[in-house]
A and B are shown apart, each in its own frame.
Chain A
Amino acid sequence: MGIADWIEIGRMDELGRMDTPAHRLDARAKAIVTLVFIGVVMSFPLHEISALTPFLLYPVALISLGRIPARYILKKILVAAPFALVIGIFNPLMDRQPVATIGSFVVTGGWVSFVSIMFRFVLTVGAALALVACTGMYRLGAGLEQLGVPRVFVMQLLFLYRYLFVVADEGVKMMRGVELRSDGTRALRLRVYGSLIGHLLLRSMDRAERVYRAMVARGFDGEIRVLRRSWFRWSDWGFVCGCLAFFLAARMWNLANGLGLLLTGIVP
């Protein structure tokens, strides 16, 4: 994790605070629909590709309605890709069963499933990022709590999120100090590392203590109160029902194939 990543979190936070049709949807609605989306996408058989294409509509619609820059989301997807890529690339190596030929080029089952894995990766990661970018951490936290996630855990998430920037700042300052005093090597000797990180830890703990006292002085009783909207509006219901109906339809029928049949005129 570099310093650039922190700026990225800040960007995500900004995006999450915008006010657009996608942001105005209830956090619970978006969270549930996104989870269902990921579940449905991953429930397709191993070698499916064309039937998955209609599902791209969901993240794209969310990103567009939320006015999230698509380039930003794409960049994040690319950065996250290596794990899926490393594991997925073994499919073409293991499964060499030819399944089709395009001209003289033989397509093996492994390549088909590899493409399927990578496409699913784009879909699932895209949907998750779109959810966060269109909701923001605080609304998401409130929504999670209403969905029954234990309070202590939601508070932990919100506290963590709030302190992230603060502690990161300390870390960045320390690294700057190290860089100024060293000959450009960024990796530290273990002993130095131990005391540096140890100091960061102690400083963070002191800060937690100070923040805690300040909070108690202002009436903190062990619970963070988050602003929440308890009712579902019509638009939320519409969003949930519409999306679920679409997922169901796209799961039952291969919509892309249908479109293709229509276009190639094989359908009578």
Chain B
Amino acid sequence: MHMADALISPTVGGMLWAVSGGLIAFCARKVKRTLRDNLVPMMGVLGAFIFAAQMINFSIPGTGSSGHLSGGLILTILLGPYAAFLVIASVLTVQAFFFADGGLLALGCNIFNLGFFPAFIAYPLIYRVIAKDQHGTPRAWVAAMVAAVVGLQLGAFSVVLETKASGISELPFGTFVLMMLPIHLAIGVVEGLATAAVVSFVARARPEALRTAPSAGASVSLRPVVIGLAITAVVMGGLVSWFASTHPDGLEWSISKVTGKEELSGSEAGVHKNLADLQKKTAFLPDYGFKATEAESAPAEHAAPEPEPWPAVNAGTSISGIVGGLMTLALVCLVGFALKARSIQRAHGND
């Protein structure tokens, strides 16, 4: 469920960058403070382990298909939430860098969806409560299944929210939820099975390895959970109201241009409106403008005004647009070839 850049608005992407960046900084501080020296190489190796583990599949009992570990929960069981969150974030970053698996703008969203929920919700609030550190027992199997399913469901649901708030996909909210949640229910069960199988093996083969995690007494504070959820709630509320109040929202706006109708039927307008109302009631910064928080949000500012009145159905404009677009593409290719030729020539010249 790695989200791609092409479906995310800079606002949503930037906001979740800020949230995930904040969580990374928070976890980095925590890890540094509690640093046992060998934690650093251990974190690095376990990140690499997750990559390697994803190459190996197992057959899912009772079905013809196969699945693999995706890793958030097992990392948290082995390392504890703070270190695990950093490892998950680093794995996602490397995946984005080298496999184009989830984009750079979407990286904040992906880290939040796949890191925050297993590390700060599923593990402390579900796995530890049910399993009570009795790794390898049926109890722990149940715990792993429930925790993995809940973690992935929350992640999948926030994928839907983020995509919806971006307003680029026109998939209706209900359909999207119905599409994502059942799939991730299955993925969650697989993840739970794989996690429990590996953990129970390790519990038998080398129980002390599982004590890498913070000891049973050191409970996880709820602070990052509360902070993370609060920030996200504010971000989401703010976003929705921004779309719902300033412009009707990209989609509705362009449709109203085409059809002359103001309202778009369906649940989406309702959700927007309700959330916007809720946000208005609870807003503590009523005229909260979108302030650039990161370097990448800067473009959103000079980009925000003057959307082209599309589609101005004017034959001249459309034709010139098409011709111009094609010509631009051709030009870009030419420039590319020229630059490459020159660069190679230079390199030979230097030899």
Contacts and interface: CB of A to CB of B under 8 A. Distances in A.
Indicate whether A and B interact. yes
Interface of A: 1-3, 5, 8-9, 12, 20-22, 32, 34-36, 38-40, 42-51, 53-54, 56-57, 60-61, 63-67, 70, 76-77, 79-80, 83-84, 87-88, 90-91, 94-95, 97, 99-100, 109-110, 112-113, 117-118, 120-121, 124-125, 128-129, 131-132, 137, 140, 149-153, 155-164, 166-168, 170-172, 174-175, 185-202, 204-205, 207-209, 211-212, 215-216, 222, 247-248, 251-252, 254-261, 263-264, 266
Nearest to A94: B170
A193 B55 contact: no
A210 to B, nearest CB: 9
Given A194-B197, A211-B41, 5 more contacts: A90-B169, A160-B47, A166-B48, A198-B198, A200-B52
A2 B5 contact: no
A202 B170 CA distance: 46
B56 A51 contact: no
26 contacts: A34-B104, A35-B104, A39-B10, A39-B299, A47-B254, A50-B322, A53-B329, A56-B329, A61-B336, A65-B340, A67-B344, A84-B7, A87-B169, A95-B170, A140-B97, A150-B24, A159-B43, A190-B61, A194-B200, A195-B205, A202-B205, A205-B45, A208-B38, A208-B45, A251-B299, A254-B324
Interface residue SS majority, chain A: helix
B317 interface: yes
A193 B343 CA distance: 49
B316 interface: yes
7 A-B pairs with the lowest CB-CB distances in the bound complex, closest first: A159-B44, A260-B324, A194-B197, A198-B201, A260-B320, A171-B52, A193-B58
Counting contact residues on chain B (CB < 8 A from A), the size range is 35 or more
Contact of B96 (A128, A207, A212, A266): A128
B338 to A, nearest CB: 8
Contacts of B303: 39-40, 43-44, 251
A233 B96 CA distance: 28
